Amino acid sequence: MKTVVGLAGLKFEIMEEPDNQALQLGREFGNRGQCNPTYFTVGNLVKHLVELRDGAGIPTERIIREYAFVTAGGCGPCRMGMYATEYRKALRDSGFEGFRVLLFTRSGDVQDVLMDGLKLTNTDLLRFFFAIMVGDALNSINIKRRPFEETPGSVDAQVKEARALVQEGISQGRWIRGMWQARKILRSMKLKREKRPVVHIMGEFWAKTTDGEGNYHLFRFIEKEGGVVSNETLTDWLLHQIWRARWIASRKRTGRIWSGTEVQLLVLEKLIKFFFLGIGSLLGEKLHLSNHGELATLAKEHFDLHVDGGEDHMEVAHHIHIAKNRLADLIVSVKPFTCLSSSGVSDGVQNKISNLYPQVEFIAVETNGDGAANFYSRIQMGLQKVSAQFR
């Protein structure tokens, strides 16, 4: 495990991708009836702390005193609202009572939570989000190019090298230089020119962005089966949250003049877009971000925009947008077993959208940690249907 010194002189450790062992630990120490991301992420923290204690020999008291875990949380209405309680219960029952868990929430109190716990300034937070955008950009480049690599494994290796250069640049305060050096590595990639079916992965936030046992290595499976993945990014999700906060503020307004909050949120949205697309250009890749106002307009006829939780109306909106513009051949909507918002709400609408826009194949698949064969076979069936034109 690598430790890096980052914001405000704090030391950061990058945790492993949650695996099935983490899932088992999550189930063992968590409450019954939680969704998969809860079990995977809670279990992963317990697994990590046990490794620190038993593997690295760090006494429990020191772990509780010197370490903290920063993650995403929320106020509901989906299980995200219960994450904090789940962490506390699992940590208590696994022998780490008192360990600090600091949550970013989607209700706008990021600052309160983080600054109380870590004493971060606004500048630190901006740098933090900038680092997320760079990571997002590098991940997207990796996913976009990997299916076309001439030598197996070369794109992963080159992106890893590029990431290390960016990381070094960030730690020396020379962000642009780090990215410029990474660009040279990325430009030297040897890629094949061939046509492949485009598979857009959408769905529940954690299931669609994770790249591991939590979604049965979905990205790599699709690549192995001959597809190329079109992915959704964390930055896009962040933009959606900002759009939503602005929309809520606009609903409270009585006149036509925008409130200060609305203006601030619009500026923030523009800045994020400017930086993310700029990072892409610097790294030599044309990246894409959604127009969330347009997505909301597309969805509102079928999905009440007031319904909050998980992806809100985004799954329905992305489906319509992709189908209308023929941006993919197949859409895979991936959701964890028992997800309230994705399986319980969005999927109820998706059937109608599939009937209205049959030009793009749509399949919804669930992950539950032990149903890989069924999961893979549904993806294969979807891919076979759309692959005929590429043979």
Query: Which residues form the interface with ligand SF4 (CB under 6 A)?
Result: 35, 37, 78-80, 204, 206, 310, 336, 339-342
Cβ-closest residue to ligand SF4?
78
Query: Which amino acid type is present at position 358?
Result: P
Decide if 95 contacts 112 (C-beta within 8 A). Answer: no
197 versus 310: smaller Cβ distance to ligand SF4: 310
Decide if 342 contacts 311 (C-beta within 8 A). Answer: yes
SS3 of residue 198 by DSSP: strand
- Asked if the bond preceding 37 is cis, omega within 30° of 0, the reply is no
The least distance separating ligand SF4 from the CB of residue 335, rounded to whole angstroms, comes to: 7
Decide if 44 contacts 22 (C-beta within 8 A). Answer: yes
Residue 172 makes CB contacts below 8 A (sequence gap 6+) with: 178
276 versus 375: smaller Cβ distance to ligand SF4: 375
Query: Which amino acid type is present at position 252?
Result: K
Name the DSSP class of 149: B
Q: What is the CA radius of gyration of the chain?
A: 21
78 versus 114: smaller Cβ distance to ligand SF4: 78
Q: Could you give phi then psi for residue 248, rounded to 5 degrees? A: -65, -40
The least distance separating ligand SF4 from the CB of residue 366, rounded to whole angstroms, comes to: 10
Residue 10 makes CB contacts below 8 A (sequence gap 6+) with: 118
80 versus 182: smaller Cβ distance to ligand SF4: 80
The least distance separating ligand SF4 from the CB of residue 202, rounded to whole angstroms, comes to: 13
Q: How far apart are CA 19 and CA 245, in angstroms?
A: 34
52 versus 339: smaller Cβ distance to ligand SF4: 339
82 versus 141: smaller Cβ distance to ligand SF4: 82
142 versus 231: smaller Cβ distance to ligand SF4: 231
How many residues are there in the chain?
Answer: 391
The least distance separating ligand SF4 from the CB of residue 240, rounded to whole angstroms, comes to: 13
Q: Could you give phi then psi for residue 13, rounded to 5 degrees? A: -115, 135
The least distance separating ligand SF4 from the CB of residue 67, rounded to whole angstroms, comes to: 24
Q: How far apart are CA 333 and CA 349, in angstroms?
A: 13
SS3 of residue 367 by DSSP: strand
Partner residues linked to 5 by β-bridges: 11
37 versus 43: smaller Cβ distance to ligand SF4: 37
Q: What are the CA-CA distances from residue 221 to residues 16, 101, 246, 322 (Å)?
A: 20, 33, 38, 22
The least distance separating ligand SF4 from the CB of residue 379, rounded to whole angstroms, comes to: 19
Structure tokens at 250: 């606009």
Instruction: Assign residue 66 a region (left: φ > 0; alpha: ψ between -120 and 50; beta: otherwise).
Output: alpha
Name the DSSP class of 370: S
170 versus 314: smaller Cβ distance to ligand SF4: 314
The least distance separating ligand SF4 from the CB of residue 35, rounded to whole angstroms, comes to: 3
The least distance separating ligand SF4 from the CB of residue 291, rounded to whole angstroms, comes to: 23
Q: What are the CA-CA distances from residue 273 to residues 50, 239, 270, 279, 325 (Å)?
A: 40, 8, 5, 10, 21
310 versus 382: smaller Cβ distance to ligand SF4: 310
The least distance separating ligand SF4 from the CB of residue 76, rounded to whole angstroms, comes to: 9
The least distance separating ligand SF4 from the CB of residue 206, rounded to whole angstroms, comes to: 6
